[in-house]
Amino acid sequence: MGFPESLWRMSLSSLPGLILLLISHHFQTGNAEHFKVLGPDQPVVVILGEDAVLPCHLSPALNAEDMQVRWFRTSFDFLVHQYENGMDQNEQQNSKYRGRTELIRNYISCGSVSLRIQNIGLEDEGRYSCYFEFDTYYDEATVELKVVRLGSALFISVNDHQDRGIKVMCESSGWYPEPEVTWRQEDGQSPIAASETETQEQNGLFKVKTSLLLKTNQQGSISCHIRNVILSQEKTFVISIADIFYQRVSRWMVSLSLILISVLIPCGLLVMLVIYHLRKEREEKGQLSADKKNLSAKVENLSAKAENQSENVDKFSADNAKLSVDKENLSADNAKLSADNESLRAELEWRRCCSYAVNVTLDPNTAHPLLIVSEDKKTVISGNTKQIFFDNTKRFDSEPFVLGSEGFSSGKHYWEVQVGDKSDWKVGVCKNSVRRKGQITPSPGEGYWAVELRIKDKSVYLALTVPEKELLLRERPQAVGIFLDYEAGKVSFYNADTKSHIYTFSDIYSFTETLQPFLFTCTSLRIRPVAAWE
- Give the CA distances from residue 179 to residues 151, 197, 216, in Å, rounded to whole numbers and listed in that order: 9, 12, 30
- Give the CA distances from residue 470 to residues 96, 113, 394, 467, 476, in Å, rounded to whole numbers and listed in that order: 29, 21, 31, 10, 14
**Residue 8, domain member (yes or no):** no
pLDDT at 255: 58
Q: 503: how many CB neighbours lie within 10 A of its CB?
A: 21
Residue 208 and residue 171 in contact, taking contact as beta carbons nearer than 8 Å: yes
Domain check: are 225 and 359 in the same one? no
pLDDT at 161: 60
CA distance linking residue 274 with residue 265, whole number of Å: 15
CA distance linking residue 380 with residue 374, whole number of Å: 6
CA distance linking residue 459 with residue 477, whole number of Å: 12
Q: 451: how many CB neighbours lie within 10 A of its CB?
A: 23
CA distance linking residue 480 with residue 493, whole number of Å: 7
- Give the CA distances from residue 124 to residues 84, 116, 262, 327, in Å, rounded to whole numbers and listed in that order: 24, 12, 62, 59
CA distance linking residue 487 with residue 510, whole number of Å: 8
Domain check: are 140 and 210 in the same one? no
Residue 458 and residue 470 in contact, taking contact as beta carbons nearer than 8 Å: no
- Give the CB-side neighbour count of residue 11, counting CA atoms within 13 A: 16
pLDDT at 1: 52
CA distance linking residue 124 with residue 117, whole number of Å: 9
Q: What is the CATH number of the domain that holds 238?
A: 2.60.40.10
Q: Quick one: which of 70, 118, 68, 127 has its CA closest to 96? A: 118
- Give the CB-side neighbour count of residue 382, counting CA atoms within 13 A: 16
The pTM of this model reads 0.44
Domain check: are 40 and 77 in the same one? yes
**Residue 18, domain member (yes or no):** no
pLDDT at 19: 45
Sign of the C-alpha dihedral, residues 326, 331, 332, 336?
Answer: positive
- Give the CB-side neighbour count of residue 293, counting CA atoms within 13 A: 5
**Residue 478, domain member (yes or no):** yes
Q: What is the CATH number of the domain that holds 413?
A: 2.60.120.920
Domain check: are 184 and 141 in the same one? no
pLDDT at 259: 60
Domain check: are 183 and 90 in the same one? no
pLDDT at 508: 58
pLDDT at 260: 61
- Give the CB-side neighbour count of residue 411, counting CA atoms within 13 A: 9
pLDDT at 8: 42
Domain check: are 144 and 157 in the same one? no
**Residue 82, domain member (yes or no):** yes
Domain check: are 157 and 133 in the same one? no
Range of the domain at 201: 152-244
**Residue 428, domain member (yes or no):** yes
Give the CA angle between residues 512, 517, 523 to the nearest 5°: 145
Q: Say what the alpha-carbon torsion angle 515, 516, 517, 522 is, to the nearest 10 degrees.
A: -120
**Residue 343, domain member (yes or no):** no
Residue 476 and residue 459 in contact, taking contact as beta carbons nearer than 8 Å: yes
Domain check: are 55 and 163 in the same one? no
Picking from 148, 183, 210, the residue at the C-terminal end of a domain is 148
Picking from 148, 180, 209, the residue at the C-terminal end of a domain is 148
pLDDT at 457: 75
The SS3 of residue 165 is: strand
Domain check: are 483 and 469 in the same one? yes
DSSP code string of 215-228? -TT--SEEEEEEEE
pLDDT tens, the chain, 534 aa long: 544 444 444 444 445 444 444 444 443 343 345 899 999 999 999 999 999 999 999 999 999 999 999 999 999 999 999 999 999 999 999 999 999 999 999 999 999 999 999 999 999 999 999 999 999 899 999 999 999 999 999 998 887 665 567 888 899 999 999 999 988 887 666 677 776 888 988 889 999 999 888 776 666 788 889 999 998 899 998 888 776 655 555 565 655 566 666 767 777 788 788 788 888 887 888 787 787 778 777 867 776 776 777 677 677 677 777 887 878 888 777 778 776 777 777 778 888 999 999 999 999 999 999 999 999 999 999 988 788 877 789 999 989 999 999 999 999 999 999 999 998 899 999 999 999 999 899 999 999 999 999 987 788 999 999 999 999 999 999 999 999 999 999 999 999 999 999 999 986 567 999 999 999 998 999 999 987 544
**Residue 314, domain member (yes or no):** no
Domain check: are 387 and 492 in the same one? yes
CA distance linking residue 94 with residue 75, whole number of Å: 12
What's the domain count of the chain?
3
Residues 6+ apart with CB under 8 A from 522: 107, 109, 110, 382, 400, 423, 424, 425
- What residues does 47 pair with on adjacent strands? 148
- Give the CA distances from residue 384 to residues 63, 109, 387, in Å, rounded to whole numbers and listed in that order: 11, 10, 9
Exposure string over 222-238, b if 16+ CB within 10 A, otherwise e: bbbbbbbeeeeebbebe
Burial (CB < 10 A; 0-12, 13-18, 19+), residue 207, is: middle
Domain check: are 464 and 476 in the same one? yes
Domain check: are 357 and 427 in the same one? yes
- Give the CA distances from residue 285 to residues 246, 276, 293, 294, 311, in Å, rounded to whole numbers and listed in that order: 55, 15, 14, 15, 39
pLDDT at 369: 93
CA distance linking residue 259 with residue 493, whole number of Å: 69
Give the CA angle between residues 491, 497, 500 to the nearest 5°: 50
CA distance linking residue 454 with residue 239, whole number of Å: 50
Q: Quick one: which of 494, 475, 495 has its CA closest to 483? A: 494
Picking from 226, 244, 262, the residue at the C-terminal end of a domain is 244
Burial (CB < 10 A; 0-12, 13-18, 19+), residue 196, is: exposed
Residue 62 and residue 139 in contact, taking contact as beta carbons nearer than 8 Å: no
Q: Quick one: which of 355, 391, 360 has its CA closest to 373? A: 360
- What residues does 221 pair with on adjacent strands? 240
**Residue 278, domain member (yes or no):** no
